[in-house]
């Protein structure tokens, strides 16, 4: 099963990027074929309809292809003002746009429809970005994704990793693994 793991942050010391790295390793150990995507590697401007009329940016097309190729995703989202960050929204807004004159991408739902998605979050606060998830889930449903019923919010994230980005909060492994297991379980059955 091909699983795409990515964080909704490009910050160098991002806790969600660290969580995504740990999650990717754990999903690999569970037998998944994992792509660990860094959104910072893609040149995606803030969505603007005028800009879009001049042509969909090439990296948006690349991202559409990557998201489309993976039946399952695990997102590690930060929480900004009790919701998910603009980076996440902007990425999905571009992904959802049909590309006129490009027969591969006339259907705006193509990169997202039917994907099984696990939601994780991390925050230095006690709630671990839990409130971001309650906004992200409806967005994913609107994009016609299947969202795994179990999710996990890693609180006190500043103490959860060592200097090399390894997870030292051992108690967090079990709930992260539970999300991975659910995503693999559902994605395997939906794509059987
Ligand atoms: C604009 C902004 C709003 C934030 N709002 C929240 C919040 O509502 N809840 C929370 O737990 N943390 C909040 N934070 C703190 C983030 O959780 C923290 O910056 C975290 O490190 C961001 O994720 P990252 O480490 O993956 O980049 C906010 C940070 C920013 C920049």
Nearest residue CA, atom 10 of ligand 1?
A: 79
Q: Confidence band (pLDDT; 50, 70, 90) for 16?
A: very high
Rounded to the nearest angstrom, the distance between the alpha carbon of 110 and the centre of ligand 1 is: 31
Rounded to the nearest angstrom, the distance between the alpha carbon of 159 and the centre of ligand 1 is: 15
Rounded to the nearest angstrom, the distance between the alpha carbon of 71 and the centre of ligand 1 is: 29
Q: Which tens digits make up the pLDDT trace of 180-189?
A: 999 999 999 9
Q: For position 181, what pLDDT does the model report?
A: 98
Which of 119, 144, 148 lies closest to 132 in space, CA to CA?
119
Other beta carbons within 10 angstroms of residue 129's beta carbon come to 30
Q: For position 100, what pLDDT does the model report?
A: 87
Q: Checking DSSP bridges between strand 152-154 and strand 146-147, what pairing results, if any?
A: unpaired
Reading the block at residue 95, the tokens are 């992904």
Q: For position 83, what pLDDT does the model report?
A: 98
Q: Which domains does the chain have, with CATH numbers?
A: 2-190 (3.40.50.360)
Average pLDDT over residues 154-176: 97
Nearest-atom number in ligand 1 for the CA of 83 is 8
Average pLDDT over residues 31-50: 98
Q: Which tens digits make up the pLDDT trace of 109-142?
A: 999 999 999 999 999 999 999 999 999 999 999 9
Helices 15-29 and 173-190: angle between axes, nearest 10 degrees = 60
- Give DSSP secondary structure letters for 6-17: EES---TT-HHH
Q: For position 34, what pLDDT does the model report?
A: 98
């Amino acid at each position: 099963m091909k699983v795409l793991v990515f964080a909704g942050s490009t910050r160098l010391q991002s806790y969600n990027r660290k969580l995504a790295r740990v999650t990717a390793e754990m999903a690999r150990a569970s037998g998944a074929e994992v792509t660990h995507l860094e959104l910072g590697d893609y040149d995606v401007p803030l969505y603007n309809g005028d800009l879009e009329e001049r042509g969909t940016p090439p990296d948006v097309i690349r991202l559409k292809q990557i998201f489309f190729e993976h039946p399952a995703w695990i997102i590690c989202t930060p929480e900004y003002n009790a919701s998910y960050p603009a980076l996440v929204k902007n990425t999905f807004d571009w992904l959802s746009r049909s590309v006129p004159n490009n027969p591969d991408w006339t259907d705006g739902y193509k990169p997202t429809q039917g994907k099984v998605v696990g939601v994780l979050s991390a925050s230095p606060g006690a709630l671990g970005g839990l409130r971001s998830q309650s906004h992200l889930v409806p967005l994913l449903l609107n994009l016609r994704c299947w969202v795994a019923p179990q999710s996990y919010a890693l609180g006190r994230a500043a103490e959860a990793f060592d200097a090399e980005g390894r997870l030292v909060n051992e108690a967090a492994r079990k709930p992260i693994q539970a999300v991975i297991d659910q995503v693999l379980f559902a994605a395997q059955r939906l794509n059987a």
